[in-house]
Amino acid sequence: MLQTLKANRGAVVAPHHLASQAGLRVLQDGGNAIEAMVAAAATIASVYPHMNALGGDNFWLISTPGSDVVGIDACGGAAAKADIAFYRDQGFDAIPSRGPLAALTVAGVVSGWQAALDISEKWGGGLALPRLLEDAEYYSRTGFPVTASQHLNTADKLAELKDVPGFAETYLANGNPPETGTPFKNPAFARTLERLAGKGLDDFYRGGLAQDIAADLMSAGSPVTADDLARHEALVLPPLEVKLASGTVYTMPPPTQGLASLILLGVFERLGVREAEGFEFIHGLIEATKCAFRVRDAHVTDPEYMDVKPGDFLSADTLDAMTASVDGSKAAPWPEAGPGGDTVWLAAIDGEGRAVSFIQSIYWEFGSGVVLPETGVTWQNRGTSFNLADGAHNCLMPRRRPFHTIQPALARLTDGRVMAYGTMGGEGQPQTQAMIFTRHVFYGQDLQTAVTAPRWLLGRTWGVETTKLRIENRFDGSVLEALKVAGHDVEEVGPFEEFMGHAGALVRHPSGLIEGAADPRSDGIAAGF
């Protein structure tokens, strides 16, 4: 049985143990939670390359004692030349999911690191950038053991990725997926990290590195240009929040699906479910998810193109009305199938009580599949979430930001605890977040127990589309039967399925105690001291 980590000087959790340890080493060297997160984020981009990369986006929630929670939106917009006509003229009715034409949005990852470090500097953070990128550069240069997750995902997606520019040269070994445990190196990416450490992070957007990136993107056939890179900036902004009896929960506003996560919790609290793990618990969370996704699918996009205010859906009256629509004994129809995704979630808390909840993504496994030869950077395919129908919700427009499934979560509880939690996994993110939060906060489960506990998933994740209720087989059989009777299309799956997400959580108590939990479905650990 995994035990909840307990520490009091600082802690980091990530879905790969080398990333957790990189962040912990920064804390031990006197760094703060943001500096630890930059180190962990860079490292996991190196050692979990199928899940995230510098060619993706990230979002941050930062909690500082005595101050408001702050969000960072490091989401890149579509290229200036990427419009509906650009794709229709090439014979496409939908944006290709892989290849250069899928690489149509600017990568925001590095801008998010910089925006966070600007905040860290105001805290008095003093660790140099080369120190923060040290572990990531080391593992890319000298190699790290391939995880089973990387091997299996490479094998599973090989047919659709093997001919994408740069993929085979970077991710295959003699034309085959690298075997689990064999060393994996990306020397070009190591050199990129060295350049960033020497020139500064802005070099990715407005320096020599940006020129190399733009040249490789153009050569591959992507519409993203040097001007698109130069125009990009991360945004520092207030998060969305919902007030519950147990405290206030925060997440990122659109273009993320964070609004859905908050609606889900607000509705579920109002259902008054008395205990976890039974029919009422699972059915209630599922039906609350449906309420949330109807709003998400109808309204959430780039906020500059929204005609409603996200916070209006979190008012008490609106949540009451949604709750009234829930049938306690019968499953409602599932909304239209939504987007999938592949991502990493991480968190850090330092000895001063500053907490970071962080998520970084290239959308699908390996993103677009395009790997830039000069830099070793894999580019995301987040722009495939755009629609090519004129006037459609989330239709493609130049410089428009794409809809994002990824969203970190953070809570300030009424008893003084701060909880940073999250997961990867497309539509599974709001669902898994709710399972972890309610199990721990509403029902008092031990933190690691709440993360390890069996899960379910409705909707899409990891590029798989289904409306079945996929549920791990560790639930009591009578509960599964009750769900079927209520009209849920139940599909039992294995006890610890990776597609259920790589979740985790850190909780800091008013006493200074920090608890941490990592997902046994991942390669991660919670590390503290």
Any idea which residues carry the catalytic annotation?
343
User: Going along 22-134, which residue ranges are E strands?
Assistant: 57-63, 70-74
Q: Give 354's Cβ-side CA count (13 Å radius).
A: 22
Angle at 365 between CA 233 and CA 114, to 5 degrees: 20
What is the b/e burial string over 376-415, where b = at least 16 CB atoms within 10 angstroms of the residue's CB?
bbbbbbbbbbbbbeeeeebbbbebbbbbbbbbbbbbbbee
Distance CA 39, CA 346 (A): 11
**500 backbone φψ class: left, alpha, beta (φ>0; ψ -120 to 50):** alpha
The residues near 305 (Cβ < 8 Å, ≥ 6 apart) are: 397, 400
H helix intervals, 172-307: 187-199, 203-206, 208-220, 226-231, 258-271, 279-299
H/E segment holding residue 340: none
Q: How far is CA 310 from the centre of its chain?
A: 20
CB count in 10 Å sphere of residue 493: 17
Q: Give 139's Cβ-side CA count (13 Å radius).
A: 22
Burial class of residue 468 (count of CB atoms within 10 Å of its CB; 0-12, 13-18, 19+): middle
Residue with the two structure tokens 């979990």: 48
Q: How far is CA 232 from the centre of its chain?
A: 20
Residue with the two structure tokens 């991942």: 522
Residue 9, both tokens: 């000087």
Nearest by Cα to 344 from 394, 383, 380, 370: 380
Is the peptide bond between 398 and the residue preceding it cis, with omega within 30 degrees of 0?
no
